[in-house]
Every structure is written in C-alpha cells, then in structure tokens.
Amino acid sequence: MRGFAEAEFRGRLHKAQTLMAEAGIGAILLTTEPEFRYFSGFLTRFWESPSRPWFLILPAQGDPVAVIPSIGAALMQSTWVQDIRTWPAPNPRDEGVSLLVEALRETGGPVALPSGPESSLRMSLADYARVQCDSGLTFRDDAGITARLRAIKSEAEIDKIRASCAVAGRSFARVPEIAREGVALAQVFRDFQRLLLEEGAEFVSYLAGGAGPDGYGDVISPASDVPLARGDVLMLDTGAVRDGYFCDYDRNFAVGAPSAVAAGAHAQLIEATAAGFEASRPGARACDVFAAMAAITGGGEEAGRLGHGLGLQLTEGLSLSPRDETVLAEGMVITLEPGVETGPGRLMVHEENIVIRAGGAERLSPFAGPELVVI
C-alpha cells in the first residue's frame, strides 16, 4: 500500500506528545517538507516551489492542525489530518501569518521549532518575527524531539526504504547496458536516472558519481562530458525515491580490466563495509562504527563521515564520524560509506544501507562483492 495506516501517524503523534509533556512544550511548529510529511503523510513534489509556506502544528493534546495554502486543501483532505485551515497563497501581505497566529493561540505555548543540527526554517525570517510578536507566545527549540522520533524507523518505514533499495539494486545491475568506453559521464547520469525510473523510482532526487583512472576527484560535482576511458573506475551513487522514502548507496564499475590499485581499493572498501556492518548493533556508538571501518581504510579524523542516517531524506540524523557519539538503537536505518585514497586527490567510495536490529544489523541494499564489476 502507498502511504501509511492512520495508526502509524497516531503512534508518531503520541510519542511526540509524551516527549513534549516531559519537555514542557505547548506546541511543535513544523515548516519543512520531511517534518510536515512525517506527521501528516502529506506527499507532493510541490515543495519544489518556494512560493508558499506550509505549517503543521502538533498540539500538546489532540490532533495536528494544518495551516496551508488553499492549493493543498484537496490533497491534505486525503491524509489523516482533519483540522485543515487554508489561505489563498501567495499573499505577501499575509502569507498565512494571521491564520497561524490564531491556531497557535488556541494550542498555547511554549511553541517549539526544530532548531538543532540539520534543521532549517522554511518561512521568511520577517514572517517568523511577526508570528512570534503577534502570538504573544514564547518560542523555543523542540528539544530534539522531531529528530529523535524520525531516527527510529517503524517496520512500515523500513519496508519502504527496502523497496527503494531494491529499485536501485535492479538499476545498478543494468549499468552495463548504458555505460562503456567512449560514453560521456553526463550521458551515463541521464541514462542511469532513466533506469531508476524504469525500475520503479517515482523520482530521482539525487544522483552523484564520478569517473577516472583508479578513482575520482570528488563526489559532488555535476557530470562532465568527458567520455569514459579504459582504466577508469565509474561510480554512481543514488538517492532514488519510492513512496517518499530514499535509498542512498553506490556501486563502482571498472571500465575494462581494473588495475591492481582499483581492485585492491575496492576489496578494501568491501572489507571495511563488512566491519562496519559487524559493528552496527544496538548500544554501539556512531563513532564506534566509524572506527571499525577506519581501522581498515586507514582514514582518521580527516576522513569525514563514513555513513549517516537515511529515510525521508537522503541524509538525516547521525554521522558515522569520530565526533558523533549517538548510540545506535533498533530501527535506525543508516548507510555505511567508507572511502579510500587511491592517489593524490583521487578516491574510491563504497556505500550500503542497513537497519539496526536487536541482534545486530540487517542489509537493506543487496551488498556488493569484493570484485569490481567490469564493463
């Protein structure tokens, strides 16, 4: 089934309200897509347009209140949210501000917004100041409640991430159809997105990658028009989306027979991933999993992060880094993403997706073997 049963949303709200009571919070105000969707089930690509703010209020007691542009009313009515208040947007003279103020006055304060790492405010600073002033309520951080709840996935959520991973798995298996010596990397990017769509992705929110002899220079640049050459390692890393949930993992391919350096690096990455998998269990800290992988790849502090949380967003929550002491718990979905230097300014990375279970970890992506696939 698409979406979730109402019980799933009621469970999320109930947990939030329990934590809100402990923290002395009167209402949580959400403005960003993943936070809004997590509690409402409201799924649309329309957030791509920045013109209209969307507000969801979680009161200390009772059901959520959606304060949204009228263009979203019909779709919102198909969710479990009943209390839907709309205004004709865009209206720069009053972009939902008076409606939001009224709703917040009903729930009462303190009004808490996600304010910690990764959070952002999807409304203008001017309107935020107006809402604070006109409501007369106290505003504060949400004590990390939203992020903490989102970090632990339900079985229904895990199923969705698994389905997303399967889409990418089928697509990676077809890369030999689209990539070979002489094909420009930009063309491979286009064609790989096409494969993802054919294999069941609803959209491809993220695609990164690189290609070069024995590795690539960086993993965030747009694809160039340089054709793949014999001796290159090609890497594709995707965030395909199915039913609103991401996968995020990659695959490396050797264009022609791989060099000893590339083959060795890949085997080492697979070994590091296995070590990370072994270390990923309830009670272990994010930095412990980092250390297990870094012990094999040799990276230290400068290695950056070797994995992260995953779910409604491409990356969310914890970082597998020496600086993150988050304790892993059942239901957390994370990526394992070791990297190795293969030359000056050149690296190879590998990534898989897993979920933390009582006894250890479970694979969500179909783990790659140590041998590079040759195209």
The residues, any chain, with a CB within 8 Å of residue 269's CB and separated by 6 or more, are 252, 297, 338, 339, 340, 348, 349, 350
373 and 254 in contact (C-beta within 8 Å)? Answer: yes
Among 157, 214, 250, 316, binds a second copy (CB under 8 A): 316
Tokens of 23: 């923290």
For a second copy, which is the closer residue by CB, 234 or 372? 234
Residue 302 within binding range of a second copy, rule CB under 8 A: yes
For a second copy, which is the closer residue by CB, 44 or 259? 44
Give the orientation angle of helix 33-40 with respect to helix 6-23, to 10 degrees.
110
Please state whether 215 falls in left (phi above 0), alpha (psi between -120 and 50) or beta. Answer: left
Q: Give the nearest distance from C-beta 349 to a second copy in angstroms.
A: 11
Report how far residue 208's alpha carbon sits from residue 236's, in angstroms, rounded to the nearest whole number. Answer: 6
Tokens of 270: 């697979």
Residue 201 DSSP class: -
Task: Give the max Cα distance, the chain.
Answer: 68
Q: Give the nearest distance from C-beta 51 to a second copy in angstroms.
A: 5
Residue 143 within binding range of a second copy, rule CB under 8 A: no
Site size for a second copy (CB under 8 A): 74
Write the CA distances from 23 to 28, 59, 63, 144, 348, integer angstroms.
11, 13, 19, 10, 44
Report how far residue 339's alpha carbon sits from residue 268's, in angstroms, rounded to the nearest whole number. Answer: 9
Residue 206 within binding range of a second copy, rule CB under 8 A: yes
For a second copy, which is the closer residue by CB, 302 or 369? 302
Q: Give the nearest distance from C-beta 127 to a second copy in angstroms.
A: 9
For a second copy, which is the closer residue by CB, 92 or 359? 92
Residue 115 within binding range of a second copy, rule CB under 8 A: yes
Strand order in the sheet with 352-357: 333-336, 352-357, 360-363
Residue 1 within binding range of a second copy, rule CB under 8 A: no
Which of the residues 164 through 203 are near a second copy (CB under 8 A)?
186, 189-191, 193-194, 197-198, 201-203
Residue 324 within binding range of a second copy, rule CB under 8 A: yes
Q: Give the nearest distance from C-beta 369 to a second copy in angstroms.
A: 27
Of the candidate spans 14-22, 44-52, 169-177, 251-259, the one that interacts with a second copy by CB under 8 A turns out to be 44-52
Element (H or E) spanning 347, and its range? strand 346-349
Residue 298 within binding range of a second copy, rule CB under 8 A: no
Among 315, 335, 342, 353, binds a second copy (CB under 8 A): 315
Q: Give the nearest distance from C-beta 136 to a second copy in angstroms.
A: 19
Residue 226 within binding range of a second copy, rule CB under 8 A: no
285 and 327 in contact (C-beta within 8 Å)? Answer: yes
Which of the residues 240 through 259 are near a second copy (CB under 8 A)?
none
Residue 48 within binding range of a second copy, rule CB under 8 A: yes
Residues 70-109, mask of contacts with a second copy (x by CB under 8 A) = xxx-xx--x---------x-xxxx-x--------------
Which residue is it, tokens 């990455």? 269
Residues 252-291, mask of contacts with a second copy (x by CB under 8 A) = ----------------------------------------
**Length in residues, the chain:** 375
361 and 232 in contact (C-beta within 8 Å)? Answer: no
Among 44, 98, 132, 259, binds a second copy (CB under 8 A): 44
Which of the residues 339 through 358 are near a second copy (CB under 8 A)?
345
For a second copy, which is the closer residue by CB, 194 or 357? 194
Report how far residue 124's alpha carbon sits from residue 242's, in angstroms, rounded to the nearest whole number. Answer: 30
